Structure formats: structure tokens, C-alpha cells
């Protein structure tokens, strides 16, 4: 049974959470569904709790991540701001790149033979 490295990454500003894997997943679901309420549902969160997480990220970042259209036949919808979209994409590249770095470092430092 091989030993495997694992990592969790997140971003902070002034010691406060700005983006995490979990929160980026939530923002991606907003992107996919066009709705924070639907994203919340798929994350198993109440709308109130999902909204709280978005506000917290925006506050900690000091910039808006979500644009919400009020009203309309379906009660409006949400989408990411250009900054939100850019941050989500950068975070995913960052995470993928680190995963690769981690596997490389692990193999070189722990002298692990691949099976």
C-alpha cells in the first residue's frame, strides 16, 4: 500500500479566508447554474449560509465576486464578476499546479517507487 501526499490550499488576506477549495467549488456551481440558490442546493447548504460565505469572501477580499440580478420571472440570477471569474480560474490552475509539484517533490524526497 503506497503512501500518498495530500494537501489543502487556500488564500488569505490579513489572516482572513478569501478563497478555499470548498468556496471555489461553490462559485463554480454559480457559474454553471447561474444561480446562487441552485449552487447552495448542490452544496447541501441553505441559501442563507451560501450567501453568508459569499459576503464573507467579498468582505475579506475587499471586492465583489458575485453580481445578482434582482427580480424577473425566475427571481433574478447570479453570476460571477469578471474578478470572480478570473480568481476561480487562477485558483484552479494554482491548485492543479501545486498537486503536480507535490507529487514530484514527494517522489524525489521520499524515494518512492511507482507501481
The contact set with its own copies (CB under 8 A) reads: 1-14, 18, 61-62, 90, 93-94, 97-98, 101-102, 105-106, 109-110
Q: Which of 49, 22, 50 is nearest to 36 (CA)?
A: 50
Tell me how far, at minimum, the Cβ of 56 lies from its own copies, in Å: 15
Tell me how far, at minimum, the Cβ of 78 lies from its own copies, in Å: 23
- Distance of alpha carbon 40 from alpha carbon 18, whole angstroms: 18
Contact (Cβ atoms closer than 8 angstroms) between residue 36 and residue 30 = yes
Element (H, E) at 72: none
Looking at the Cβ atoms of 22 and 110, the one nearer to its own copies is 110
Looking at the Cβ atoms of 10 and 51, the one nearer to its own copies is 10
Element (H, E) at 78: strand 77-80
Looking at the Cβ atoms of 32 and 103, the one nearer to its own copies is 103
Tell me how far, at minimum, the Cβ of 8 lies from its own copies, in Å: 5
Alpha carbon 68 to its chain's center: 18
Looking at the Cβ atoms of 4 and 115, the one nearer to its own copies is 4
Amino acid at each position: 500500500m503506497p503512501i500518498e501526499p495530500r494537501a489543502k490550499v487556500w488564500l488569505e488576506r490579513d489572516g482572513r479566508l478569501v478563497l478555499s477549495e470548498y468556496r471555489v467549488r461553490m462559485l463554480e456551481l454559480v457559474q454553471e447554474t447561474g444561480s446562487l440558490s441552485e449552487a447552495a442546493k448542490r452544496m447541501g447548504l441553505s441559501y442563507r449560509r451560501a450567501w453568508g460565505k459569499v459576503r464573507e469572501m467579498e468582505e475579506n477580499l475587499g471586492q465583489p465576486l458575485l453580481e445578482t440580478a434582482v427580480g424577473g420571472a425566475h427571481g433574478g440570477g447570479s453570476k460571477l464578476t469578471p474578478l470572480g471569474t478570473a480568481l476561480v480560474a487562477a485558483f484552479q490552475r494554482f491548485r492543479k499546479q501545486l498537486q503536480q509539484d507535490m507529487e514530484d517533490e514527494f517522489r524525489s524526497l521520499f524515494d518512492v517507487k511507482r507501481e
